[in-house]
Each structure stands twice: as C-alpha cells, then as structure tokens.
Amino acid sequence: MRSHQPLYFGINISPARRSSKNRGCIHPASGDLISELTSSGNITVLTPASQNYANASTAFNLRFTLNPAAVTFPTTPQQISTILSLTTKYNHQAVARSGGHSYIANGLGGKDGVVVVDMSNFRAVTVDPETNVASIGVGNRLGDVALALNTYGRALPHGTCPYVGLGGHSGHGGYGFTSRKWGLTLDTIVAIDVVLANGAILNGVSNSKFPDLFWALRGSSSSFGIVTTIHTNTFAAPPSTTVFSYRWDLNISEAVSATMAYQSYVVSPDFPQEMGSEIVLRAGSTQGRVSFRLTGGWYAPPEQYDAVIQPYLTQLPSPQTATVHNETYIGSVEFFGGLGRLNTTGIPDAHDTFYAKSLMIPESVPFSNESLTAFYTYLANDAFTANTNWFAEIELYGGTNSAINNVPFDATAFGHRDTMFTMQFYTSAIGGVPPFPVEGFGLLDDMVATIVDNNPRGREYGAYANYIDNRLEDWQLKYYASHYPKLRNIKRKYDPHDTFDFPLSIQE
C-alpha cells in the first residue's frame, strides 16, 4: 500500500480504483462524454449516428460485432491526452487501435461502449543517422514499416502480415523469421512515448525514466497507456535472403519423424542464428495424411544455405514441391507477406471469421513421440473432416543461441524466454464469413490437448498474447507467467481507475 500519490507533469495519479460493475457499458454519463469529445477541438469523432461509424467499428475478426461509444482519430499526443482525460473524468473505458488485427477485437475494446482511440494518423518513421535508432509511430502497419526502414538500409524483426499494426505487435511480442538473430520486436525498443489514462504525456520512457512502466510496456502495453511512438534499435538489412519452402504429404509416422528430426536439428551445436523457419500444417491429400511445409528465410550468404539445410532434408522423403530462391531483404519481406506488395496505405484490409489458440513449448519439455503421434493422428483423421478451414504452425523461437531466449527473463514483461516452439492453431469459417461454426472451438481445443495431455505432466505451457484467445483458462499465468503480480502492481500505479480495461487486460 502506497502512502503517497505520485505526481507526473503536475497531474495526480490517484491510487483509488473504481468499481468493476458495468465496466465498458454505456451509462448515463456517456452523452456528456460524447458531447465533450465532439466539442474538444479538431478531433475527429465518429459515433453510432455518424455516416462512417459502421465501417470504423467493424472488427477484423467478424466473429465479433461490437458497438463502441465512439471511435476517435487524434493527430497529436495532446489530442489523445484530451480524449483520455475525458474518459477518466466520466469513469469510462478507452482502448488504442493500431492496425486492428486483435484476434478478439480488443482494438475495439472487446465489448460494447468503449471509446476507441484509433492511431492511424501516427505514421511517421525516421532513423537517426548516427545511432540508427528508428522513431516509429504506432499507427504504422508492418508492411509500411519495412518499406520505410528499407529506404535507410535498416530493418526490424517482426511478423509477416503487412496489415498487422505495429502498436499491438511490438507491445506484446513481435515474432518473425529474423527473431532468432535479432529478437522480438519489443526487444529492440529503447524508449517509448506514451499517454497515460489521466492525460499525462510521457516522452522517452526507458530503463532510466519510469523504468517500471517501460518494463510493463514491453509485454503488455495496451493495459497501461496509449503508446504514440516507439524508439527502436534497427539492424542493417542483410544483403540478400534465401527464401525457401518445401512441402510434403506425409502419413502420421512420417510427420512425427519429420518433426522430431526438426527438433533435433535446431539444437545441434552449429545451428546458426541466421536460420529462421516454421512448419505449417494443413489437411493432407487423403484421410490419414498431413500436409507438412517447412518455410522460412536464411539471412546469410546464399552459398552457405545448402550446407545448413541438407542435414535436415536428408532425414525426410523427397518433397512434393520445393521453392528456393534468393531475394533482396525487402523482397523476402514482400514474399512472406503473401500479397505481392507491402504498401497498405489507402488499401482496405481484409476480414476473416475465425478462432485461434497458441501453445508455447518449453525448451525443457520439448515434443515427445507420444505427443506428436497423438497430435498428427488427430490432424490426419478428426481434423481432416472438420467443417472449417484450419492450419497449425510450429514457429521456431529457440534452438542454438536464439536471440529471443538469450534475453534475461526479467528484462521485459514478456513471459516466456525458454520457448523452443510457439504453436499457432487457427480455424476459419468457410469463405471467411459468419457464422462461425461452434465445432471450430472444440477442433482447436482438442489439437492443443493432444500435445499437453501426452507430454510430461506437471509442466507449465505458455501462450502468446499476440494470438490472444478469449476462451483461454488461467490466461494470467499462460501469457505472463510469474510476471503477472508485478504487472498488477504497476497497473494500480499508472491506471488506477482501470481506464484500459478490456478482455484479458491486466486486472487489479
């Protein structure tokens, strides 16, 4: 219990917390809130009566239909300060939306009645020529960030989808094929500009300035404030990237052997950081088989690639298809993005109707033959007849000398620095349009269970917050591990009224 009330920029951060009753719901004060928002200067505010509200309030995942109290489009930190000061004044929730790809629509608050602070106007990207530190507005999407940094000959580790917003991606992780070499996106951050719930504008939050907040913002940023700009270390874009994709149609025992061989391959003493890859699994050609694809990038001289990949390929049958070619670095980013372009400006985003889960496999408890046999038996039979489209990914986080796992556990709020693989399980309604079949939930639940129930008992498996799952039990431990109690304490300090309250946010 604190005995004082800290002051930041002359604005009091009170320890008092409001009741959880009716959080996020539209209440009688909402009318006054909207009136003040719409009369507070040059802030664009869309309400349910506005012509463009329906488009602005549509979730990426059409499994969710939400009705925000307002969608605001600030252009300056000062305008964000005004918005948050008013939401705090009226005891109301607010949430930041960067790219809007939250799997459970948390960019719209995850529930009705929230004030959305859309960050799409915060798109500046600059690079300091002396330090190579980039200052990046969180309204950027990953494709546009990659293009902007490339003009400076620089790069960041990040995911492949060009439309993912930088704000949520960097605030909760940020995995990509270069992460074994460069770390997660959040590991590159050296300072953050953020607006707190009470309107305080804090610039340059870092290890030396509000270090507790800086720690929390790198792993659970959306629960603590609205980030406007991240300042990140960048890396020289590699002179070339070898892009590869191999696909097999395997029976169950072959798929088990291929995955066990992959697990052994990545922990060999000479396995290089420059190799980034994942296994993508889909329904096979017939029941009893699985489509097994190895894809990724080699970020070192192309003439070295064959010697690195052959020790794995020689343990598998000949692939049905194989694609290996050299690209410029930015060409590889475009290739992995799958759209034939990286620019998202002015081009509408797509939508899907889906459910996703994740599972982080610790280095200390890797896959067993038993767990993989159960998993592939399920994929090849039960999942083969599913009434949804699905895929599963086995993303390589660990292995020999991984930059992700080389970061000390307590350096950031990210909860899993001992991960070998992160698995993503994803299933969509046919055609990507509603309704989502209820059977899709059980499909993924059972996929996860085949792994967990057949690996050693008593071990804790994590989950990845950027693949957020609103049905996940014990999510506090699975997303944040032992960091969660510390995050709760920091939440009480910087957001005492729980302004940033949404499904699976840090709670009191």
Assign 218 a pLDDT band (cuts: 50, 70, 90): very high
Q: Does position 40 have pLDDT exceeding 90, yes or no?
A: no
Give the pLDDT of residue 30.
61
Q: What is the pLDDT of residue 7?
A: 30
**The model scores a pTM over 0.85:** yes
pLDDT exceeds 90 at position 84: yes
The mean pLDDT of 75-79, rounded to a whole number, is: 98
Query: Region 66-72: what's the mean pLDDT?
Result: 97
Q: For 229, phi and psi rounded to 5 degrees?
A: -145, 140
Q: How many Å from the N-terminal Cα to the C-terminal Cα in the chain?
A: 13
Would you say 245 and 200 are in contact if contact means Cβ atoms under 8 Å apart? no
Residue 508 has pLDDT above 80, yes or no: no
pLDDT digits (tens, 9 = 90+) for 166-203: 999 999 999 999 999 999 999 999 999 999 999 999 99
The candidate with the shortest Cα–Cα distance to 415, out of 326, 364, 486, 494, is 486
Asked whether residue 1 carries a pLDDT value surpassing 90, the answer given is no
pLDDT at 369: 96
- pLDDT confidence of residue 422: 98
Query: What pLDDT is stored for residue 459 in this prediction?
Result: 74
Among 47, 56, 165, 158, residue whose Cα is nearest residue 103:
165
Whole-number pLDDT of residue 460: 81
Tens of pLDDT, residues 105-139 = 999 999 999 999 999 999 999 999 999 999 999 99
- Contact, 331 vs 340, CB < 8 A? no
* CB 445, CB 428: distance < 8 Å: no
Q: Say whether pLDDT at 9 is over 80.
A: no
pLDDT recorded at residue 13: 38
Which is the catalytic residue, given 305, 378, 467, 480?
467
Enclosing H/E stretch for 377: helix 369-380
Q: Is the peptide bond before 435 cis (omega within 30 degrees of 0)?
A: yes
Reported as a single tens digit per residue, the pLDDT across 282-294 is: 999 999 999 999 9
Q: What is the pLDDT of residues 431-445, one digit of tens each?
A: 999 999 999 999 999
Residue 375's Cβ-side half-sphere holds a number of Cα atoms within 13 Å equal to 30
Mean pLDDT rounded to a whole number for the chain: 93
Amino acid at 423: M
Q: Is 276 helix (H, G, I), strand (E, B) or coil?
A: strand
Task: Work out the average pLDDT over 10-39.
Answer: 56
Q: Which whole number is the average pLDDT over 423-435?
A: 98
CB 469 within 8 A of CB 475: yes
Percent of the chain with pLDDT over 90: 92
Contacts of residue 28, Cβ cutoff 8 Å, sequence gap at least 6: none
Task: Give the Cα-Cα-Cα angle 97, 102, 105 (nearest 5 degrees).
Answer: 80
Kindly list the distances between the CA atom of residue 152 and the CA atoms of 125, 126, 146, 165, in Å, as whole numbers in the listed order: 10, 9, 10, 21
Residue 467 is among the residues annotated as catalytic for this protein = yes
Judged against a pLDDT cut of 70, whether residue 10 lies above it is answered with: no
pLDDT class of 3 with cuts at 50, 70, 90: very low
The percent of residues in the chain predicted with pLDDT above 70, rounded, is 94
